[in-house]
Amino acid sequence: MVEILKIEGLNKSFGDLTVLDGIDLSVNKGETIVVIGASGSGKSTMLRCVNFMEIPSGGRITLNGSAIGTASNGSVTYSEKELTGLRARVGMVFQHFNLFPHMTVKQNVMEGPKTVLKCSAVECSRRADKYLEKVGLGWKADSFPSQLSGGQQQRVAIARALAMEPEIMLFDEATSALDPELVGEVLLTMKELADEGMTMLIVTHELGFAYTVADRVLFLANGKILEQGDPESVLINPQQDATKNFLRGHGSFRLPEPNLD
Amino acid sequence: MEHAWDFSAVFTNSYLLLIGLKNTIILAVVCLVLGLFFGLFVGAARYSTRIVFNWPATAFVEVFRNTPVLVQIMWFFFAFPIISPFDIDAFTAATLGLTLNTIAFSSEIYRAGIQSIHRGQWEAAKALGMNYTNQMRRIILPQAIRRMIPAFMNRAVELVKMTSLASVIAYGELMYQAKTISTIEFNPIEMYTSVALIFFVLIFPLTLFVQRLEIKSKGRG
Ligand SMILES: Nc1ncnc2c1ncn2[C@@H]1O[C@H](COP(=O)(O)OP(=O)(O)OP(=O)(O)O)[C@@H](O)[C@H]1O
Ligand SMILES: [Mg+2]
pLDDT at B220: 53
Q: Please tell me the distance from the alpha carbon of residue A51 to that of residue B35, in angstroms, as a whole number.
A: 40
Contacts of B134 in chain A (CB under 8 A): 115-116
Q: Does A98 touch chain B (CB under 8 A)?
A: yes
Distance (Å) from the C-alpha of residue B148 to the closest C-alpha of chain A?
15
Question: Among the listed ranges A248-257, B106-115, B153-162, B163-172, which one has the minimum average pLDDT value?
Answer: A248-257
A223 alpha carbon, closest ligand: 1
Give the pLDDT mean for B30-39: 96
Does B129 lie at the interface with A, CB-CB under 8 angstroms? yes
Tell me how far the alpha carbon of residue A172 lies from the centroid of ligand 2, in angstroms: 7
Residues of A whose CB is below 8 A from B221: 146
Give pairs for B81-90: CB < 8 Å, separation 24+: B90/B166, B90/B169, B90/B170, B90/B171, B90/B172
Preferred mutation among A54, A96, A115 to probe B, highest tally of B CBs within 10 A: A115
Mean pLDDT of B55-64: 95
Question: What's the average model confidence in pLDDT over A68-92?
Answer: 93
In this structure, is residue A261 part of a structural domain?
A: no
Q: Name the DSSP letter for residue A258.
A: P
Return the bridge partners of A216, or none: A33
pLDDT value of position A144: 97
Q: Which ipTM was obtained for this model?
A: 0.94
What does the longest C-alpha to C-alpha distance in chain A come to?
65
Q: Which domain CATH number covers A95?
A: 3.40.50.300
CA separation, residue B55 to residues A104, B38, B46, B112, B214 (Å): 39, 17, 8, 17, 33
> d(Cα A8, Cα A212) in Å, to the nearest integer?
28
Q: Ligand 1 pocket, A55 CB below 6 A?
A: no
CB neighbour class for B162 (10 Å; exposed up to 12, middle 13-18, buried from 19): buried
Instruction: Quote the CA–CA distance of B78 and B92 in Å, as a whole number.
Output: 12
Domain assignment present for A28: yes
Answer yes or no: are the C-beta atoms of B138 and A115 closer than 8 Å: yes
Cβ of A176 below 6 Å from ligand 1? no
Asked, for residue A238, whether it belongs to a domain, the answer is yes
Name the average pLDDT for chain B: 91
Residues forming a β-bridge with A6: A26, A62
Q: Answer whether A44 contacts ligand 1 (Cβ < 6 A).
A: yes
- Identify each DSSP E strand in A64-152 by its residue range: 66-67, 70-72, 75-77, 90-93
- Rounded to a whole number, what is the distance in Å from the CA of A256 to chain B's nearest CA? 39
Whether residue A255 lies inside any domain: the answer is no
* Helix, strand, coil share (%) of chain B residues, nearest 5: 85, 0, 15
> Does domain B8-220 sit in CATH 1.10.3720.10?
yes
Range of the domain at A153: 3-248
What's the confidence (pLDDT) of residue B48? 83
| Domain definitions of chain B by residue range | 8-220
Q: Which atom of ligand 1 is nearest to the CA of A45?
A: 18
The model's pLDDT over A17-42, given as tens digits with 9 standing for 90+, comes to 999 999 999 999 999 999 999 999 99
- The number of domains in chain A is 1
pLDDT digit string (tens) for B74-91? 999 999 999 988 889 999
Cα–Cα distance, B132 to B126 (Å, whole number): 8
**Residues, beta carbon < 5 Å, ion ligand 2:** A 44
At A235, the amino acid letter reads L
